[in-house]
Chain A
């Protein structure tokens, strides 16, 4: 319903979109919300575009989001942000990782990655925030945690308490990578100062 919070995550197969979506859903459940979430697997694993839809609120019906209804897009890659911009509400917020990942159609030399991708994002999303998630993740210990940096940024804008997130991260992440991801999450949280949903 219109009172639900609608989030769309977009990225490239292998970037951890599915894990970030899972952690986000578990946090929303732990915070007591009704949650619906949808994603398309299948061919996504092979470096293709991946999106997931996530909604939480009092009562949520559709697991699928409609164009023009998304509160926050969390994009793991700039090009994928542009590809999904039409899902954003007029006053919606777009958070994106600045690190580019060339699609196979670009690495093969057939097509060009849009050089003006940042301007395209600004044009389609009046409220957008660029986050150097990959760089911040490297500083936290591994570039692979860019998904958790972005999740931290998203978390800071949602009505879910920090201690709920902490519980979920401790419960769901393997001990081996927990500390690294807690650092990544905190780094992400710090990126949205002065922003609100």
Chain B
């Protein structure tokens, strides 16, 4: 029986069916559900690693003894894991290794929309890209077979519309895992220059051999229809092409690198005009042009930025007078532009809120990081000024501090504060804090510790005392760790006490040493924290809107009560968790703890 599965559910199923022994990853949209699903299967080891580089090294280690290893991350995670990725191509692998990157065209929840197919060509490893959930499952097994027969890591690329879309999948059984494992004390994983003199040539020969093998691989397939128009495409874009130009012949590429040169040349010779339709970079197009094959249209027709859909593909092909499904090109009104946007916001009761209200009061430049607290950049806070990558919240504050205070010894004149979350701290901030301490930095860091990886849906962290599959593990105390790193000043604050946070920030900014403030408040969403809601006394409320500056969606304005001409604030008890931040903002004692009358 067929089952409706998301791409991510199908990939997890595929990894299990492939007999994976060890799986590792770091949460990141749109990849997170793969590891969450895989960890529910029996017969393999799964872990959330502290970051993507660690995850890939864990997986690579497993392959040394012949185990089959799978590693998942989002697009920018592969930047973090790039070092072991490139080097593992040179070392090769004994057990199968598949590294999954989940890209995010249109940047639904990512900083960039980098096209990670480029890593394959750069690092010289094959990349597979499925087009629906069935292929998402099947390609995992294909990737492991490829990895083991050529002794290479294989990159597996998915993207938002594959990972988070559902289609029907025929399930299979789990194949035998490789065993027994052996330790062979050879030096193949030792890529010292002296031992790898010939390795580059071997890597090039291997990728050429995989290109030859790809000629007969069924994941690349030509569908001959109208010989006038041939379209080369890959991934989920294949679906858009089939809908936009149903009559066109299509060469569906399942392995964007290395390409099957002969298959492409044959397809090109069988059609009158050849087009390449792909999302993001002209990755296929440039390789095909380098083969000397004439292309009638590629990125001149199809946008380079953002995700595609059938209509965009049809519009692009229509420019070249290709016969397209015209029902996709009907005139539609433009999207309404004047509506109040509905951005994601910090939840009512969120512990990050107090930190940002206080940071706004002291007018600090805040070097931020990646997590729910990144929402501090949005109005009404606008209290987070840089977001680059995980860990940068620490070291950019240090860099600014060094640049500023050569000339301006009083830190309080230009306060700079780094803000990171707990999961981000464990991910990449430990070397960064060490660097600040080592170099006698004096910057201030806030760790807004909500005890979870909240933005991606509440994955465990080393601060929780348990690991992915619920096993108990040592609870890592952040303050203890900071003291071991010799941070001169470490203190904790209650982020629901605005005065306490503000005073701590002022004191630490004035201090002539590096300091870390830990603002502890477990995530209200993940840990289902709900206190007694606060209420507004409409008589006392002057409608000054000062409380609205805390950006809480439990608060709103309502019509003026009798005898008043100004709208007053009202609190929705369904949303209010009783955190009291808005009450601390009120100058008229109009916001009171509920449940007292």
Contacts and interface: CB of A to CB of B under 8 A. Distances in A.
B is bound to A: yes
Interface of A: 1-2, 12-13, 25-26, 29, 34-49, 60-69, 79-80, 82-83, 85-87, 89-90, 102-114, 120, 124
B110 to A, nearest CB: 9
A1 B246 CA distance: 9
Given A48-B345, A64-B161, A108-B548, A43 B109 contact: yes
Contacts of A48: 342-345
A108 B379 contact: yes
Contact of A107 (B328, B347, B525, B548): B548
- Of the candidates A2, A45, A61, A111, the one having the most CB atoms from chain B within 10 angstroms of its own CB is A61
B166 interface: yes
Contacts of A63: 132, 161, 165-167, 236, 239
B545 interface: yes
B435 interface: no
A2 B327 contact: yes
B338 to A, nearest CB: 8
Contacts of A69: 311, 327-328, 330
B344 A47 contact: yes
A67 B311 contact: yes
B500 to A, nearest CB: 25
A112 to B, nearest CB: 7
B351 interface: no
Contact of B553 (A45, A67, A104, A114): A104
Interface residues of B, number: 63
Contacts of A102: 553, 556
Given A1-B246, A47-B344, A104-B343, A42 B165 contact: no
Contacts of A112: 340
B339 A114 contact: yes
Closest 4 CB pairs of A and B: A42-B109, A66-B311, A63-B165, A46-B344
Given A39-B165, A66-B314, A111-B340, 15 more contacts: A13-B344, A42-B456, A48-B345, A49-B342, A62-B240, A63-B132, A66-B309, A66-B311, A69-B311, A69-B330, A83-B342, A87-B332, A102-B553, A103-B340, A106-B556
Nearest to A144: B574
8 contacts: A42-B29, A43-B344, A46-B375, A47-B553, A48-B344, A68-B328, A69-B327, A109-B548
A41 B331 CA distance: 29
If over half of B's interface residues share one DSSP class (helix, strand or loop), that class is named, otherwise mixed; here it is loop
A44 B347 CA distance: 12
B335 A46 contact: no
A107 B167 contact: no
A111 B347 CA distance: 19
Contacts of A85: 333, 336
B108 A105 contact: no
B553 A36 contact: no
B339 A83 contact: yes
A106 to B, nearest CB: 5
A80 B548 CA distance: 23
Contacts of B345: 46-48, 104
B164 interface: yes
B325 interface: yes
Contacts of A82: 336, 339
A61 B309 contact: no
Interface in B142-200: 160-161, 164-168
B553 A25 contact: no
A42 B30 contact: yes
Contacts of B2: 29
Contact of B379 (A49, A80, A87, A110): A110
Nearest to A30: B4
B108 A40 contact: yes
A82 B168 CA distance: 32
Contacts of A90: 330
Contact of A68 (B239, B332, B549): B332
A36 B6 CA distance: 9
Contacts of B548: 107-109
B347 A46 contact: yes
B566 to A, nearest CB: 12
B316 interface: no
B590 to A, nearest CB: 16
Contacts of B325: 2
Nearest to B567: A109
A120 B375 CA distance: 30
B341 A105 contact: yes
B551 interface: yes
A45 B344 contact: yes
A40 to B, nearest CB: 5
B431 interface: no
A91 to B, nearest CB: 11
Interface string B293-327: 00000000000000101111010000000000101
B166 A37 contact: yes
B61 interface: no
B432 interface: no
Contact of B167 (A1, A36, A66, A104): A36
B536 interface: no
Contacts of B236: 63
B271 to A, nearest CB: 20
A39 B340 contact: no
B192 to A, nearest CB: 42
Contacts of B456: 42
A60 B167 CA distance: 9
Contacts of B161: 38, 63-64
